[in-house]
Amino acid sequence: MAEDNQAPAGGVAAHLTIRDGRGSEAIAFYEQAFGAKEEMRHLADDGKRLMHAHLTLNGGSLLLNDDFPEFRGGTPASPPGGLTLHLQVPDADAVWNSAVGAGATVRMPLEDQFWGDRYGQLEDPFGFSWSIGGPKAE
């Protein structure tokens, strides 16, 4: 991990709140499923929960932290919804198979689509929706 890499290089970066103290588990999943690389992590004062983590993934940044209900009046984070994280990759089948093998659930099968991509949607073990797209095989 590169401790000096504290922030995304630019653009828009998703910042996920992982419920139920499973932030470290989420990092391991994203590494296995999508080939993410952990750039840094900071634990909270309790030594268990993630205050902040920065991953690089498919040329971009993914930030995450464990839920801290005590900073929101005791209310836990709501379940993820209304958002899909998209990965545009050269080989959709390879990334798809890796994610499913790591424990993602198929929500929309990976298939050739009318707009020219192979495309499908998955849900990760933490409730986040991911779409994977790539060129159709010739």
* 39 and 89 inside one domain: no
Note the pLDDT of residue 125. Answer: 98
pTM exceeds cut of 0.85: yes
Sequence-ordered list of residues with C-beta below 8 angstroms from that of 69, at least 6 positions apart, any chain: 75, 76, 77
The 10s digit of each residue's pLDDT in 76-101 is: 999 999 999 999 999 999 999 999 99
Q: Is residue 33 part of a domain?
A: yes
Structural domains in the chain (count)? 2
Within a domain: residue 1?
no
In this structure, is residue 36 part of a structural domain?
Answer: yes
29 within domain boundaries: yes
Query: According to the model, what pLDDT value does residue 1 have?
Result: 47
Please state the three-class secondary structure of 71-107 as a single string.
Answer: HHCCCCCCCCCCCEEEEECCCHHHHHHHHHHHCCEEE
The pLDDT tens digits for 3-25 are: 555 667 778 899 999 999 999 99
- Domain range holding 123? 84-135
Residue 8 in any domain: the answer is: no
